[in-house]
């Protein structure tokens, strides 16, 4: 089976790495890929948002199955276009992808079907949004309704910050994504993620994870795409898992069927574990990044078989097995991220990590030039390690990072700190 993975980040590297070891797979391609992905797949110069290019390549190469990584092409209907062309694809339709592509749509759906979440209002007028913010007071969460590359959510601790958030998000810099905003109650608790494969009413639970969005240690500073993650998280015990599945994920799957746009793909629920139970923060319609890099290495089952079972509606016949260890991922980013940063810096020492036991290097933003690996993005590398505890996985990951020579990069030194307190 020839498989094409769409995307160029650490998530896609992890997927290519896992797919390449499947006995169901004869060839793996990635569009466009990166320097690390080139070790697991054949990279092709087609961008993830180039729908026609992906269709042409898939037809020319006789691709059997396409796995779409990022949210933007899913929201744009890439899976719909592939399926119409007779090419099997993993991921939700554009209508179903509105769960992530429109914060307002997701909130309205949850409200209609009694799925727990914060109080909220959606606005297309900045004047009305500001009036509502002043009426509510702080803290509040202000979100751009559409996709904003991870930069469309602002947690405002003061009224001034909330007003500035509305003005910033609706200033036009986010285009259509900021044409409307959702203003939400600020939930208090610990944040966690849960992942499941979904086809219509069928749900196959996968795993929990916890990521670190803030750029600074102790979870302070600007939000990023994610500075690290670990899986599973001890805060999602069996009781919490059952609640998330029974009160959030299964009801959402059923609601999408009732709405006439059945969900098919990976559903990722970001939840806040409040005193009154888990409540939905957001839905993502694809594997998270860097969460994928801690879920896939724990998976003992064939990832291709799991993705095919999802696409073909055979989840009731499929089960997944997991390694008992914890996986922990530390992201290495370019100095200055998530603000402005330089690219093109050489990264040395990666060969020293070859052969380390249960340590994996996933590239997010790299290119290869003249035999050298160079930085080519904000988040550049992710080092994942498996261990019998969070502490062991953390130590292995940081020991591995110590072998890398990249003065132009930085990383958080406290990934997993909440779980370490729990341990």
Within a domain: 153: yes
| Boundary residue ending a domain (37, 69, 91) | 91
* Integer angstrom CA distances of residue 280 from 92, 111, 271, 283, 416: 20, 11, 5, 8, 22
Residue 235 lies in a domain: yes
pLDDT of amino acid 172: 87
Q: Which residues contact 147 (CB under 8 A, 6 or more apart)?
A: 71, 72, 75, 100, 101, 177
CA dihedral 345, 351, 353, 359 (to 10 degrees): 90
Residue 244 within any structural domain of the chain: yes
Domain check: are 203 and 312 in the same one?
A: yes
Percentage of residues in the chain having pLDDT higher than 90: 94
Give just the sign of the alpha carbon dihedral 173, 175, 176, 179. Answer: positive
pLDDT number for residue 185: 96
Do 50 and 158 lie in a common domain?
A: no
Residue pLDDT, tens place only, 225-234:
999 999 999 9
Six token digits for residue 421: 């307190």
Burial label for 319, CB within 10 Å (0-12, 13-18, 19+), is exposed
Give the domain CATH number at 334: 3.90.600.10
Instruction: Please write the tens of the pLDDT for every residue from 4-27.
Output: 999 999 999 999 999 999 999 999
Q: Are residues 164 and 213 in the same domain?
A: no
Q: Domain of 139: which CATH number?
A: 3.30.1490.20
Q: What separation in angstroms does the CA of 34 have from each of 16, 65, 201, 280, 396? A: 11, 20, 36, 33, 25
Residue 115 lies in a domain: no
Q: What's 287's DSSP letter? A: -
Domain that holds residue 208: 190-317
Same domain, yes or no: 357 and 400: yes
Indicate if 289 and 400 belong to the same structural domain: no
Q: Are 396 and 387 in contact (CB under 8 A)?
A: yes
- Which of 283, 317, 351 is where one domain is finished? 317
Whole-number pLDDT of residue 100: 97
Residues 331 and 363 grouped into a single domain: yes
360 shares its domain with 307: no
Q: Which of 11, 148, 27 is nearest to 69 (CA)?
A: 11
**Pairing mode, strands 379-387 and 326-334:** antiparallel
Neighbours of 370 (CB within 10 A): 5
96 inside domain = no
Q: Token pair 């690290």 is at which residue? A: 228
What pLDDT sits at residue 421? 84
The answer to whether residue 114 sits within a structural domain is: no
Residue 149 confidence (pLDDT): 76
**How many beta carbons lie within 10 A of that of residue 264, not counting itself?**
26
Residue 150 confidence (pLDDT):
74
- Rounded Cα distance between 89 and 78, Å, is 9
In a structure prediction context, what are the per-residue pLDDT tens digits for the chain, which is 423 residues long? 999 999 999 999 999 999 999 999 999 999 999 999 999 999 999 999 999 999 999 999 999 999 999 999 999 999 999 999 999 999 999 999 999 999 999 999 999 999 999 999 999 999 999 999 999 999 999 999 999 877 789 999 999 999 999 999 999 888 988 999 999 999 999 999 999 999 999 999 999 999 999 999 999 998 899 999 999 999 999 999 999 999 999 999 999 999 999 999 999 999 999 999 999 999 999 999 999 999 999 999 999 999 999 999 999 989 999 999 999 999 999 999 999 999 999 999 999 999 899 999 999 999 999 999 999 999 999 999 999 999 999 999 999 999 999 999 999 999 999 999 877
Closest C-alpha to 381, from 405, 396, 402, 365: 365
Query: What local confidence, expressed as pLDDT, does residue 60 receive?
Result: 98
First vs last Cα of the chain: how many Å apart?
Answer: 43
Number of domains in the chain: 4
pLDDT at 223: 84
* Closest to 254 (Cα-Cα) out of 241, 267, 238: 267
pLDDT value for 151: 76
> Would you say 373 and 365 are in contact if contact means Cβ atoms under 8 Å apart?
no
For residues 311 and 355, membership in a common domain is answered with no
Domain boundary among 41, 72, 91: 91
Q: How far is CA 401 from CA 6, 32, 341, 384, 388, in A?
A: 28, 26, 21, 10, 19
Token pair of 99 as six digits: 């769960």
- Using CA atoms, how far residue 141 sits from 25, 311, 346, in Å, is 44, 35, 39
Same domain, 334 and 373: yes
Q: Look up the CATH number of the domain holding residue 244.
A: 3.30.470.20
pLDDT recorded at residue 294: 98
pLDDT of residue 136: 94
pLDDT of residue 173: 84
Instruction: For residue 372, tell me if it sits in a domain.
Output: yes
């Amino acid at each position: 089976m020839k498989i094409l993975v769409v995307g160029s980040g650490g998530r896609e590297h992890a997927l290519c790495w896992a797919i390449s070891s499947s006995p169901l797979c004869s060839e793996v391609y990635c569009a466009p890929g990166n320097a690390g992905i080139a070790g697991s797949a054949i990279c092709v110069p087609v961008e993830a948002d180039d729908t026609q290019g992906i269709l042409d390549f898939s037809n020319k190469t006789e691709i059997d199955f396409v796995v779409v990584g990022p949210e933007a092409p899913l929201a744009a209907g890439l899976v719909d276009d592939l399926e119409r062309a007779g090419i099997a694809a993993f991921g939700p339709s554009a209508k179903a992808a509105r769960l992530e592509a429109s914060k307002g749509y997701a909130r309205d759906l949850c409200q209609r079907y009694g799925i727990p979440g914060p109080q909220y209002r959606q606005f297309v007028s900045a004047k009305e949004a500001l009036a509502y913010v002043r009426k509510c007071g702080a803290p509040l969460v202000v979100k751009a309704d559409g996709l904003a590359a991870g930069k469309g959510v602002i947690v405002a601790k003061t009224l001034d910050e909330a007003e500035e958030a509305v003005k910033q998000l609706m200033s036009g810099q986010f285009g259509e994504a900021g044409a409307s905003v959702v203003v939400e109650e600020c939930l208090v608790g610990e944040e966690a993620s849960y992942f499941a494969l979904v086809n219509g009413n069928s749900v196959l639970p996968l795993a929990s994870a916890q990521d670190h969005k803030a750029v600074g240690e102790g979870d302070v500073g600007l939000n990023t795409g994610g500075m690290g993650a670990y899986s599973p998280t001890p805060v999602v015990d069996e009781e919490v898992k059952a609640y998330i599945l029974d009160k959030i994920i299964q009801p959402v799957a059923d609601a999408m069927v009732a709405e006439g746009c059945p969900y098919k793909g990976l559903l990722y629920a970001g939840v806040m574990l409040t005193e009154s139970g888990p409540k939905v923060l957001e839905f993502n319609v694809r594997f998270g990044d860097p969460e994928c890099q801690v879920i896939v290495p724990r998976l003992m089952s064939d990832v291709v078989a799991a993705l095919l079972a999802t696409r073909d509606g055979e989840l009731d016949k499929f089960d997944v097995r997991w390694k008992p260890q914890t996986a922990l991922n530390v992201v290495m980013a370019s100095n200055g991220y998530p603000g402005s940063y330089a690219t093109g810096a050489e990264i040395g020492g990666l060969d020293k990590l070859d052969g380390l036991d249960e340590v994996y290097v996933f590239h997010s933003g790299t290119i290869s030039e003249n035999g050298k690996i160079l930085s080519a993005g904000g988040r550049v590398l992710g080092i994942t390690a498996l261990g019998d505890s969070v502490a062991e996985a953390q130590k292995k990951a940081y020991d591995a990072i110590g072998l890398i020579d990249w003065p132009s990069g930085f990383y958080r030194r406290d990934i997993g700190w909440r779980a370490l307190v729990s341990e």
